[in-house]
Structure 1
Amino acid sequence: MADPRLKPIKIKTGVVKRLAKEKQSYIKESNQEEARWQKMKDDGKDEHDVRKQHEVFQESANMISDSNRRLKQAYAELEQLLEKEADLAETEEFQAAKTVLDEAKVVIGN
């Protein structure tokens, strides 16, 4: 039977993976909204529409910092769990968690 300590590792690994993907998605969305806002400004669109588009861009940009904060928290929790359960280092779940941490570290830095 599998060690019951693997389940929290697997769950926290999934959370870190999802939050890293979420942050990348918000970055992409923010870049698109910024480009749309800039194009509207450059094309001399109605000032009200430009302002509204800027608000959309700002909301999107704010989500990046929020998702990064949640990602850092989940990253720290998984890292602490792996330190606590170091005797499971040879398991597939532990190795997968280490890989996800390495990938998330890059996303956190962006």
Structure 2
Amino acid sequence: MEGQAKNLKIKTGILKRLTKEKLMYEEEVSALQEKLQMYKNEGKDEYFIKKQTEVLKEANMMVPDTIRRLQRAYDDLKMTIDGATHISKESEIYETALVVLKDAEPHLVQ
């Protein structure tokens, strides 16, 4: 695989992974919020609730960090596609990169 194609494939994989990672963190935050509310409703120990709140805060901090990394990977892949002069626009690698870019767009900060 030539250099540009290999670089495009790697950057496509990075963006795809970060998109999945962002979704995973958002799902985790949602699940933790539900659990925390359930624990509060059940009247669980105050110390236990405090610790669960800390876990939720840590998970919440991962989302903005992942969004920043996702944005950088998106911009990097977009630049790589724009500069890909030795890759056929009909190649599978190129088309996959375009699909991954499109799939990542809703997860970026607008």
- Unaligned 5+ runs, structure 2: none
Identity value in percent: 36
Deviation at 1:90, TM superposition (A): 2.2
Report whether the alignment pairs 1:91 with 2:91. Answer: yes
1:102 Cα deviation after fit: 0.3
Deviation at 1:86, TM superposition (A): 5.1
Taking a change above 3 Å as real, the CA distance of residues 41 and 86 of structure 1, as seen in their structure-2 partners, is farther
Q: Deviations over 1:19-65 (max 9, x none)?
A: 00011001111111111111111111111111110111111111111
CA RMSD between the two structures: 1.6
TM-score calculated relative to the size of structure 2:
0.91
Deviates more, 1:44-53 or 1:10-19: 44-53
User: Structure 1 residues 11-20 or 53-62, which shifts more?
Assistant: 53-62
Q: TM-score, normalised by structure 1?
A: 0.91
Q: Conserved in 1, the CA contact under 8 Å of 2:67 and 2:109? A: no
**Greater mean deviation of Cα atoms: 69-78 or 83-92:** 83-92
Deviation of 1:92 (Å): 1.3
Q: Which amino acid aligns with 2:90?
A: E
- The 5 A counterparts of 1:27-106 are 27-85=26-84, 88=87, 89-106=89-106
Q: Which residue of 2 aligns with 1:107?
A: 107
Aligned residues: 109
- Which stretches in structure 1 are left out of the alignment for 5+ residues? none
Please state how far the C-alpha of 1:87 moved relative to its aligned partner.
5.7
Residue type of the alignment partner of 1:80: M
Q: Distance in 2 between matches of 1:86 and 1:29?
A: 41
User: Residue 4 of structure 1: CA displacement?
Assistant: 2.7
Alignment map for 1:19-34 (pairs within 5 Å) = 19-34=18-33
| Separation (CA, whole Å) in 1 of partners of 2:75 and 2:9 | 15
